[in-house]
Amino acid sequence: MKKYTDTGKKDTRSGFGDGLTELGKKNEDVVALCADLTGSLKMDDFKKNHPERFFQVGIAEANMIGMAAGMTIGGKIPFTGTFANFSTGRVYDQIRQSVAYSGKNVKICASHAGLTLGEDGATHQILEDIGLMKMLPGMTVINTCDYNQTKAATIAIADYEGPVYLRFGRPKVANFTPEDQNFQIGKAVLLQEGADVTIIATGHLVWEALQAAETLFEKGIHAEVINIHTIKPLDDEAILKSVKKTGCVVTAEEHNFLGGLGESVARLLSTQHPAPQELIATQDTFGESGTPEQLMDKYGLNASAIVNAVNKVIARK
Vertex 117, ends 266 and 51: CA angle to 5°? Answer: 110
Phi-psi region of 168 (alpha: psi -120 to 50; beta: other; left: phi over 0): beta
Least Cα distance to 212 among 278, 119, 152, 141 occurs for 278
Displacement of CA 46 from its chain's centroid (Å): 22
Distances (CA, A) of 275 to 74, 86, 89, 136, 246: 48, 37, 33, 28, 10
- Which residues are marked as active site? 61
Closest CA to 87 of 40, 52, 50, 51: 40
Spatial separation of the C-alpha atoms in residues 299 and 191, rounded to whole Å: 25
CA dist., res. 317 & res. 67, Å (int):
52
* DSSP H helix total and E strand total for the chain: 12, 14
Among candidate residues 239, 145, 152, the one with its CA nearest the CA of residue 190: 239
